[in-house]
Structure 1
Amino acid sequence: MQIQPNVRTIEGALFEAFVKSGAVSKDNADDPVKVSLARAARTDAGVHAAGNVVNMKLITSPPGVDDLVASVNNNLPPEIRVWDIMTYDTHRSCDSRKYTYFFPTYLLIPPRPGSGLFYSLRRQNGDPPAHQFWDFIDQPSEEAHSEASDQVKLAARLKELQRKRAWRIGVVELDALRAAVKRFEGTHNFHNFTVDKDFRDRSNQRHMKSIQVADPVVHGETEWVSVLLHGQSFMLHQRKMMAILILSVRTGTPPNVIDEMYGPRGVTVPKMPALGLLLEYPVFEAYNGKIMAANERIHDPNDPEHRQLIDFEVHREIIEKFKNEYIYSRMRAIEDNQAIFDAWIHTIDAYTGQDLLYLNHEGNIPPESVIKKGERRANRFKDRKQFNSTDYTNGTQLSSLPFLDADCEEEEEKFYEKQTETED
């Protein structure tokens, strides 16, 4: 979102469009600082937004321009739109923000038998009950597992992926999701859901006003579900909230593990792919309340002192059309072509270390999972940078094994061999 030198950003494109439309004077056209450009909410690189508020000083009626919104949009690429232009300062009045995370429901299928996470759960909880999804799998021998060619592995993974996309969430999983998200509501210390923050840092305190899990919907072959998060503010990489939500449900970990993570002990929580994250819009409840009270005293909507409310719902129809055309359709196409979410969950299941041992049937954090300052951890979990992006235009297709990460496969094979020797 935020303008940066020599980087393509939304604010940079907006500023150029306003310049071309005559809404920024020639004297100010060389530097956005001159028009006090600011925004109500930022987004990480690659994270989508359906609504935001950008504040800048503008010429609201440039000569020869009858409709400034239409003129600016004509000078923007189609994936960036201006919904409205208002004539007063707003960027310091944002009370809260709404985000949606959109993901395939197959992420809730329990870990694959024989994977690192499967064995981790078995060591902690005993033999897990077999999940019917994995009934089709014949467990390979050690020799067959290590000697299988990439073509054989690809065929097996495609078969597995096809079955995942045909899987549909049940009442049990959906109820578990809805119960778990309630643990995020209210004011908590989110130090474990961001990066490089000490428990005592007051900036970790965040208030979640409400979180809602929508009913699942099917697009193409895949079922998707969305989670709407309404909070006063969000932290860097707070996609970790979604990760612990999904991982706890798919492993049968009680939701009290989320409460444990608000405590002083630091743990590693994976980040969900950026692909599924969407800023819906910033919310201006207190500001709108003041404007409504002021407008009631004015009575006449044509009075120069009469002000508009900042209400994205007025534009709901065109915003939904935009989301479906430029955001959701793109998310789904990338997942269909490159199985990004499947690749992510594959890296989770392949992990063989101790960082995720809090995924257990007690919902507690064992000492082995606690990060101690200055201590080097063997086989620590590492997030893959590839999941921080939503730009996969130059990425590989399924036939190029995007989900068979070389490092991940090697790690899983070594663990498989060691585990087989132990069991023998």
Structure 2
Amino acid sequence: MFLSKSNMIIKKPIFYSNFILLTLILNELLFFFLYSKNNVNDTPSTIKGDEIKLDDNGNPIPQEVRKPKRKVAVMVGYCGAGYHGMQYNPPNDTIESELFRAFVRAGGISLANSNDLKKNGFMRAARTDKGVHAGGNLISLKMIIEDPDIKDKINEALPESIRVWNIERVNKAFDCRKMCGSRWYEYLLPTYTLLGPRPGSILYNDIEESKKELPNVLDEDSESADFWKSVEEEQSKHFTKEEIEAIKSYVPPPRDEFDDSDGLYQKVKQFKLIENLHRRKYRISPAKLIKFRGAMQKYLGAHNFHNFTLGKDFSEPSSIRYMKEITVSEPFVIGEAKTEWVSIKIHGQSFMLHQIRKMISMATLITRCGCPLERIDASFGPQKINIPKAPALGLLLESPVFEGYNKRLETFGYNPIDFSKFKNEIDEFKLKHIYDKIYKEEVDENVFNAFYTYIDSFNMATGANGVETEEKSGANVQKSIFDFLTARGIPVLSNEEIDKIAKQNTNFQKREAKANKKDKKNNQSNNKKFQKQEKKDEAKVETKESPAKKSYFGCSIQ
């Protein structure tokens, strides 16, 4: 039963040799399992668990080969007409939905990832509302860019009203919304919108009454008076006094009773046509242009824009925004109707909902009503007011700016994000697909004329006295916008309120200085972080591109 000493000496080497062989086999299997798991992305197969897809004839569709994705910044421009804004919002047609479909068709995004933007890290630098255009905007995402013709293929898959200007590699940590330092916007405005209200309109009468109460507060506008006098003289040549009275008192019937061939209605159309033709011929005077430029300059710097958006209170720190630069171009005449326009460009750190449209509206209303420019200063105070939105038609995003982050990109060996390189292409695109559509729609639909006519004829007795809060006292009472446009103006701010505004602006400037100092201090550490990430990315690429590794037995593992 017991082994002798000699037997044990003979069998011990056999036992150890079997044990070593078993250990080697287990190690080989473990190595093969781990290597296969870590390199699953390199194998030419579809995602695990995907169902076999069939074409229309019932034949299986060939499986996609996995391709590496890279973080990129895509520079785009688009005409927003016919789209429900920039941001992806199914089932509505948006700019991002068009771009996403084009990326898939061009092979920039795999079919496996074509059903969800989040899988690709989709982000935009600036959102634009319904109907708003962009000469330049930026989106960041992970995309397959092995094909050198990927940009051209994407543009072929896009409608002509949407273009990709360039695709640039960026660091993996790049976030175009957070890294965007500021934004340039442009607003195109017909100069006739700066004409004073038509004599006899509700706003005109209200202004004239306030002048009697408080003389020498509002400017006398002889330019507008001469314009309206010439319009009335031309209309009196074509219509009798009785016809003019009937036209001015005309009220359209209900839609089901409306008759396009009605004689009075046809006269109303002819009457308005004369007025519209005079508007197209109007050319702004240097004095009125200087006044408007002065109004726009009031927005420069840090101010509380709580009255220029929705749902913001004076006390909210986020209501303070910083405008870096504002320009108003020389007037230019364009289009078949020979209408005169000006281009307004606004450079700001960030903007709130409807802010630019309300800024334009306020400046035009102050100019056309002859109000002191200090009324705009008062709009930054705690008094809550209603400022109407100027038409979205003239608004477009010029381009986002990445001044600070471009310096970091260059340190990593990447190209800076610079839209100026494509200025000629962008200008040509804007002229054909944006400017021409704005000019044409204004002529066909009289968009700006309709907006300012509505303002002039707004009946204050039907609800324009403002929406009051529960307290109904002091700065908590919401006044009508028309208090700003008359000699009555708004209540003068107390010294305490003025000090509060000054203190708030000072605190904002201190926060900005502190943030800039902190950003400068952390810049070096951020660079190290990004460089470390780059090294990791490069190491992964080298690992994937390295030749097949050999096992202990000399067999290659694919």
Describe how 1:3-402 pairs up with structure 2 within 5 A: 3-61=88-146, 65-88=147-170, 89-91=174-176, 92-126=178-212, 130=222, 131-136=225-230, 137=232, 144=246, 145-146=248-249, 149-220=264-335, 221-238=338-355, 239-292=357-410, 294=411, 305-353=412-460, 354=465, 355-360=480-485, 364-366=489-491
Q: Which amino acid aligns with 1:181?
A: M
- C-alpha change, 1:360 and 1:8, in structure 2 (3 Å) is closer
**Helix, strand or coil: the match of 1:279?**
strand
For the aligned residue pairs, the C-alpha RMSD in angstroms reads 1.9
How far does residue 146 in structure 1 lie from its aligned partner after superposition?
Answer: 2.4
**Helix, strand or coil: the match of 1:114?**
coil
**Helix, strand or coil: the match of 1:310?**
coil
How far does residue 199 in structure 1 lie from its aligned partner after superposition?
Answer: 1.5
Q: Measure the CA separation in 1 of the matches of 2:229 and 2:350.
A: 43
Superposed CA deviations along residues 199-234 of structure 1, whole A, max 9, x for unmatched, are: 112221111001100111101320011100000011
CA contact (8 A) 1:189 1:263 kept: yes
Superposed CA deviations along residues 313-364 of structure 1, whole A, max 9, x for unmatched, are: 0000000000000000000011111111111111011013142333346583
Higher relative contact order (CA 8 A, sep 6+): 1
CA contact (8 A) 2:196 2:368 kept: yes
**Helix, strand or coil: the match of 1:168?**
coil
Higher relative helix content = 2
CA contact (8 A) 1:255 1:363 kept: no
TM-score of the aligned structures, taking structure 1 as reference length:
0.80
**Helix, strand or coil: the match of 1:184?**
coil
Q: Tell me the matched-pair count.
A: 353
CA contact (8 A) 2:300 2:323 kept: yes
Identity of counterpart residues, as a percentage? 41
CA contact (8 A) 1:257 1:363 kept: no
CA contact (8 A) 1:191 1:198 kept: yes
Aligned residue number for residue 390 of structure 1: none
TM-score of the aligned structures, taking structure 2 as reference length:
0.61
CA contact (8 A) 1:357 1:365 kept: no
CA contact (8 A) 1:260 1:364 kept: no
CA contact (8 A) 1:188 1:207 kept: yes
**Helix, strand or coil: the match of 1:27?**
helix
- C-alpha change, 1:165 and 1:283, in structure 2 (3 Å) is same
**Helix, strand or coil: the match of 1:86?**
strand
Superposed CA deviations along residues 44-96 of structure 1, whole A, max 9, x for unmatched, are: 111111111101100111xxx43111010001011010001011124121001
Q: Measure the CA separation in 1 of the matches of 2:221 and 2:438.
A: 33
CA contact (8 A) 2:106 2:150 kept: yes
CA contact (8 A) 1:47 1:274 kept: yes
How far does residue 310 in structure 1 lie from its aligned partner after superposition?
Answer: 0.7
**Helix, strand or coil: the match of 1:215?**
coil
How far does residue 143 in structure 1 lie from its aligned partner after superposition?
Answer: 5.3
CA contact (8 A) 2:196 2:221 kept: no
Q: Measure the CA separation in 2 of the matches of 1:254 and 1:121.
A: 13
How far does residue 255 in structure 1 lie from its aligned partner after superposition?
Answer: 1.3
Q: Measure the CA separation in 1 of the matches of 2:250 and 2:132.
A: 40
